Amino acid sequence: MAMERPLVSIVVPIYKVEKYLERCLDSLVAQDYQPLEVILVNDGSPDGCGSIIRRYEAKYPIFRSLWQENQGLAAARNNGIALATGKYVALVDSDDYVEPDFISSMANLAEERQADIVMGNFYIDFPRGGIKVPFRMLTMHKNLSGEEAAQMSLTLLRIPAFAWNKLYRRELFAEHNISYPSIYYEDVATTSRLLIKSGRVAIQQKPIYHYCLRSTGITGNFSIKNVNDYLKAVDIIRHFIWDQQLWNTWKRPYRAFLRTVEAQLFLAIALQMNKLSVRKRQHLMRQVHHRIHRLAQPPELSAVEPEFSIFSLPLRLFRKARSIRWIHNGRD
């Protein structure tokens, strides 16, 4: 007699995605896994998303909804996870869509390997020409310890920090008081912490998620907030490593991660902020380097100021900077 399969919850934050929402929800209806619950979190979306949510909730019993005033992606994810009842939880962005075996491929692997987290490969869908490019994590391991996976996640491309290509044991969040912070790069701040506290991590090699690039969205523009929030995410990781008494074990991979972050920010400033003078860009780079140096130290030895001093730019330059695109996160 086959063992009963565990309930899986899918949390879908929704905000200003009327054009894409039905495609996402149809892909969830088409899942070949049961039992399944899909929690649609309407984050105060002012467009027609609400009527779409009501229609799908009335037609398909797998859907339930949570309505809230606009609080942002992180709060929508956190509130959806809090409402979930499944043994496992997945996070799907409402402007993306998934393969029919998105849940079954990861849930079966989680049960088979007794994994706290399962990660799947994905496609990058381009907005023109129907081009879909498979992205494969630069590791061929099928099983990892949480520590191994976390260290690979700090190298960024070997295991990307995205929230949406993973299946999590739901209680992992509550057991370790981990939630998504209300900043950009909340994935960076959260994925490494979850992996650190995981016992086993499994990797599904088949692409099962479609990450859809588009011309609008919170991940499309480079701004002052992007730089500040990226380094805030790094600081959250730093404090977590320290608070968990893992500094001696983790300081080398963490500092290697910092070097990658610094290189990314330098590249963004040099190539993307070309409307600023060379002198101003050099000043920005010096300030980034200074803050990275402080972030390399244990929290008890080096408090990091909450905002960059470099961002007291003239308003004219600030407005220019906000319109420049950010190379690291691009749904464009």
Question: Which pLDDT value is given to residue 3?
Answer: 64
Q: Which of 88-97, 217-226, 287-296, 299-308 has the highest mean pLDDT?
A: 88-97
Kindly report the length of the chain: 332
Q: Cβ(89)–Cβ(168) under 8 Å?
A: yes
Alpha-carbon span 9 to 91, nearest angstrom:
9
Q: Per the omega criterion (within 30 degrees of 0), is the bond before 306 cis?
A: no
Alpha-carbon span 239 to 325, nearest angstrom:
30
Tokens for 147?
Answer: 């520590």
Of 85, 107, 86, 94, the C-alpha closest to 47 is: 94
Alpha-carbon span 129 to 155, nearest angstrom:
31
SS (H, E, C) 139-151: CCCCEEEHHHHHH
* Confidence (pTM): 0.86
Taken in order of first residue, the domains within the chain and their CATH numbers are 8-212 (3.90.550.10), 224-322 (no CATH)
- pLDDT-based confidence at residue 269 (cuts at 50, 70, 90): confident
Average pLDDT over residues 165-176: 97
pLDDT at 233 over 50: yes
Residue-averaged pLDDT of the chain: 86
Question: Which pLDDT value is given to residue 225?
Answer: 78
pLDDT at 157 over 80: no
